[in-house]
């Protein structure tokens, strides 16, 4: 039987006839990979443990070379239950790509070139393009590829080879015209949706993968853009150097996309966790015809296939069972024994980039990202100056008389609170906003989590250092604290440590909370506790013993005590005639009297500095553990 739409679209019963423009013909990379990839699986069963529901039911199949499409009918399993929409297509893709969640059980056999393989081995010779376009919005298309090349290409590659490869890939996927355009975000316009998807593909092509997985690459794209992307994937598969495997969402075929279907070499059609058909895409027309479900004239074959296996309101349980029986009667799984039992050596072309190189590249990337967001830094600096001037003028020249004794401690405490609050609010969204991007890059083996974390916090710390320094320069002299150089620099150092400690606390909260909404809910409570037990409302001399543990966790207390000791040591106070007591003496003549009355002498300035440094380190270790191990 010859289908009219197939004839018009280039669908033949024997092979796909696709006209590819000369400018889009595959390049000759015959030497990139000596051996083709054979991926085979037998009796593969995947179960969502929490729901105790099978997602794949003992399926058997293989992937050799070409452009593979995995299509499926919709199912009933919710995405949050540990599986895809219930059809099994994403589950199959993620199983073969070693990217299943921990809450999923796998049984059966699947091998690569006849060998058992792990995620660590697979990602050295394959690429994976996620459904969501997770990219750094502040980098241009070329910068995104350049940093990826430095992190993922073999360490033996020279800078010239990396630059050449970036240009080759940009030309291959058609991104040369937007090389200097930023990726962008919903808040800032950048490249288009189709170009974002091409950029994601380009990032994986940099290492010349032998196997490329794509999860619903056409989702969110119009039919014209999707056709352009699929032509790109077809060219890659036709080059004989890369096997392309992608899932296609069922809703996508509501468009007039027969041309896209014509591009597929092989089709895997799943229905509720079972493979209904596997073989040449064009052979599916004959298969459904023989099964008793011929495709009507002028209907998109992909639409017809899904209509047949997709349950609808008119289908009874008996009709569904009969339909499945009819299809299974004409389908037999491929023979994969020879692929499973004859191992061939795996070629692992990619070695790991050294940690110190990863750190340097990620630090440069983070600094560039920070520079692109410099408007935030400018606003912070302006805000710092305004607040510093306000504090300095409210407590202008407090002097050294008896009135200054009731104003000195409040202004010192307020400067600590101010620096801590601003420092914390700046970074509260640092890790939640990049969590998914970081997980994608780490899953691809781009870098170690420790290199990413250290580079990011280093770049953010550098960008935040000017604020407390500027604040100290303005406030210290407007308030009229002791005009001694050593005391000024100690005060500045403690302000820097205070800001960094608050930032570290916010990083720990944001890394553990995982989402911005949760982080902004938890952080105010943590800051309020630090403020309440900061040594001003409850001085060390009056602190109840049962609150001592909360007092020890407050970075505010150590900063406040440190700058108080710095200011009060050596401070000489005098009285006006009206301030003398009944005995004709000055009540307070030195700062040491205030230190003893408040109980601030239980610790020294050096101890405060050391504890703040330890506080910063501990909070950042907690933040790192959150980023490293919390993946959802």
pLDDT for 567? 95
Helices (H), 46-182: 89-96, 119-122, 141-152, 159-173
What average pLDDT does range 187-201 have in this prediction?
A: 91
Lookup: tokens for 446: 């781009």
Tell me: pLDDT of 27 over 50.
no
Q: How does the average pLDDT of the chain come out, rounded? A: 84
**Please, which pLDDT band fits residue 349 given cuts at 50, 70 and 90?**
low
d(CA 173, CA 145): 12
Nearest Cα residue to 482 out of 557, 403, 553, 564: 564
Rounded percentage of the chain residues whose pLDDT exceeds 70: 88
Contact 509, 519 (CB under 8 A): yes
Q: How far is CA 499 from CA 88, 380, 398, 551, in A?
A: 50, 13, 25, 18
Contacts of 343 (CB under 8 A, 6+ apart): 111, 113, 114, 115
Supply the pLDDT for residue 3: 52
| 297, pLDDT greater than 70 | yes
pLDDT of 263 higher than 70: yes
In three-state form (DSSP H/G/I as H, E/B as E, the rest C), the secondary structure along 518-564 is HHHHHHHHHHHHHHHCCCCCCCHHHCCHHHHHHHHCCHHHHHHHHHH
Q: Is residue 80 over pLDDT 60?
A: no
Q: pLDDT digits over 492-514, tens only?
A: 999 999 999 999 999 999 888 87
Please give the pLDDT value at position 350: 60
Alpha-carbon distance 421 to 429, whole Å?
A: 14
| Backbone φ, ψ for residue 408 (5° rounding) | -70, -50
Q: Which of 63-72, 595-604, 610-619 has the highest mean pLDDT?
A: 610-619
Under the banding of pLDDT at 50, 70 and 90, the label for residue 319 is low
Q: What are phi and psi of 34, to 5 degrees?
A: -70, -40
Q: Judge whether residue 323 has pLDDT over 90.
A: no
Query: Which one has a higher pLDDT value, 122 or 311?
Result: 122
pLDDT of residue 314: 58
Residue with tokens 């209904």: 276
CA-based max dimension of the chain:
118
- pLDDT tens-digit series, residues 414-430: 999 988 887 788 888 87
- Tell me which of 17-21, 38-42, 151-155 is least confident: 17-21
**Cβ pair 57, 86 in contact under 8 A:** no
> Is residue 432 a contact partner of residue 510, using CB atoms and an 8 Å limit?
yes
Q: What is the pLDDT of residue 416?
A: 93
Q: In what order do the strands lie in the sheet with 243-247?
A: 126-129, 211-214, 243-247, 67-72, 266-271, 274-280
Give residue 575's pLDDT. Answer: 86
**Cα–Cα distance, 587 to 570 (Å, whole number):** 17
Distance from the Cα of residue 608 to its chain's centroid: 36
Residue 268's pLDDT band (boundaries 50, 70, 90)? very high
* Mean pLDDT of all residues in 466-475: 95
Q: Which one, of 534, 496, 278, 335, lies nearest residue 417 by Cα?
A: 534
Nearest Cα neighbor of 320 from 73, 79, 70, 60 is 73
Q: Which of 81-85, 224-228, 242-246 has the lowest mean pLDDT?
A: 81-85
Element (H, E) at 53: strand 53-63
pLDDT category of residue 220 using cuts at 50, 70 and 90: confident
Residue among 39, 51, 57 at smallest CA distance from 104? 51
Average pLDDT over residues 146-154: 93
What pLDDT score does 17 carry? 34
**Residue in the block written with tokens 């070409």:** 66
Asked if residues 512 and 626 have their Cβ atoms less than 8 Å apart, the reply is yes
Phi and psi at 270, nearest 5°, equal: -115, 150
Residue 28 pLDDT greater than 70, yes or no: no
Cβ 76 vs Cβ 82: under 8 Å? no
Highest mean pLDDT among 232-246, 480-494, 580-594: 480-494
Whole-number pLDDT of residue 100 = 86
Residue 155 pLDDT more than 60? yes
Three-state secondary structure call for residue 119: helix
What tens digit of pLDDT does each residue of 364-417 get?
999 999 999 888 889 889 999 999 999 999 999 999 988 888 899 999 999 999
Neighbours of 155 (CB within 10 A): 10
CA dist., res. 406 & res. 398, Å (int) = 10
Contacts of 475 (CB under 8 A, 6+ apart): 388, 391, 392, 415
Q: How far apart are CA 604 and CA 533, in angstroms?
A: 18
- What pLDDT is stored for residue 248 in this prediction? 84
Distance between CA atoms of residues 429 and 445, nearest Å: 24
Q: Where are the domains of the chain?
A: 1-13+36-125+211-220+239-344, 133-208, 355-629
Res. 59: pLDDT tops 70: yes
Out of 1.10.357.10, 3.40.50.720, 3.40.50.300, 3.90.79.10, the CATH code matching 1-13+36-125+211-220+239-344 is 3.40.50.300
- Say whether pLDDT at 1 is over 50: no
336 to 60, 582, 584: CA distances (angstroms): 8, 104, 104
């Amino acid at each position: 039987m010859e289908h009219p739409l197939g004839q018009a679209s280039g669908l033949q019963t024997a092979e796909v006839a696709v006209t590819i423009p000369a400018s889009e013909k595959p390049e000759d990379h015959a030497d990139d990979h000596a051996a083709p990839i054979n991926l085979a699986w037998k009796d593969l069963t995947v179960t969502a443990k929490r729901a105790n529901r099978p997602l794949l039911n003992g399926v058997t199949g293989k992937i050799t070379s070409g452009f593979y499409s995995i299509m499926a009918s919709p199912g009933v399993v919710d995405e949050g239950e540990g599986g895809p929409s219930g059809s099994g297509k994403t589950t199959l893709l993620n199983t073969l790509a070693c990217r299943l969640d921990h809450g999923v059980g796998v049984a059966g056999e699947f091998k690569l070139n006849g060998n058992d393989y792990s995620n660590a081995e697979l990602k050295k010779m394959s690429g994976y393009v996620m459904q969501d376009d997770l990219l750094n919005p502040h980098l241009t298309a070329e910068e995104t590829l350049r940093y990826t090349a430095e992190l993922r290409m073999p360490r033996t590659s020279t800078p010239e080879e990396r630059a050449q490869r970036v240009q080759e890939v940009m030309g291959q996927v058609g991104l040369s015209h937007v090389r200097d355009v930023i990726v962008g975000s919903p808040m800032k316009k950048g490249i288009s949706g189709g170009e974002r998807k091409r950029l994601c593909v380009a990032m994986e092509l940099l290492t010349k993968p032998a196997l490329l997985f794509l999860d619903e690459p056409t989702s969110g794209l119009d039919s014209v853009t999707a056709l352009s992307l699929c032509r790109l994937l077809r060219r890659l598969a036709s080059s004989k150097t890369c096997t392309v495997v992608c899932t296609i969402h069922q809703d996508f075929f509501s468009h007039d996309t027969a041309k896209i279907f014509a591009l597929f070499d092989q089709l895997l059609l799943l229905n509720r966790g079972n493979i209904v058909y596997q073989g040449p895409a064009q052979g599916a027309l004959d298969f459904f015809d023989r099964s008793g479900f011929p495709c009507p004239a002028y209907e998109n074959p992909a639409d017809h296939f899904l209509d047949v296996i997709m349950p609808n309101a008119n289908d009874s349980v008996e009709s569904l069972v009969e339909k499945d029986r009819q299809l299974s009667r004409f389908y037999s799984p491929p023979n994969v024994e020879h692929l499973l039992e004859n191992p061939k050596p795996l070629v692992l072309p990619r070695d790991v980039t050294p940690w110190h190189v990863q750190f340097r590249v990620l630090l440069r990337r983070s600094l560039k990202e920070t520079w692109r967001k410099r408007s935030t830094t400018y606003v912070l600096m302006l805000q710092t100056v305004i607040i510093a001037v306000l504090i300095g003028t409210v407590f202008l020249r407090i002097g050294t008389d008896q009135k200054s004794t009731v104003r000195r401690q409040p202004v010192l405490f307020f400067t600590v609170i101010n620096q801590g609050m601003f420092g914390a609010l700046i970074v509260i969204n640092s890790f939640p906003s990049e969590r998914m991007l970081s997980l994608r890059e780490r899953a691809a083996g781009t870098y170690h989590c420790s290199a990413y974390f250290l580079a990011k916090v280093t770049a953010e710390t550098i960008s935040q250092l000017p604020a407390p320094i500027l604040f100290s320069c303005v406030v210290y002299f407007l308030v009229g604290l002791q005009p001694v150089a050593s005391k000024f620099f100690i005060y500045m150092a403690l302000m820097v440590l205070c800001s960094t400690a608050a930032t570290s606390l916010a990083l720990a909260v944001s890394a553990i909370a995982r989402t911005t909404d949760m982080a902004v809910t938890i952080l105010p409570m943590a800051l309020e506790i630090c403020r309440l037990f900061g040594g001003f409302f409850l001085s060390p001399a009056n602190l109840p013993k049962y609150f001592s543990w909360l007092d020890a966790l407050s970075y505010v207390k150590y900063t406040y005590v440190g700058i108080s000791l710095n200011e009060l040591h050596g401070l000489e106070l005098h009285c006006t005639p009206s301030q003398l007591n009944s005995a004709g003496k000055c009540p307070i003549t030195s700062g040491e009297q205030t230190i003893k009355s408040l109980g601030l002498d239980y610790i020294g300035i050096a101890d405060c500095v050391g504890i703040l440094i330890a506080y910063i380190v501990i909070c950042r270790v907690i933040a790192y553990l959150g980023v490293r191990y919390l993946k959802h």
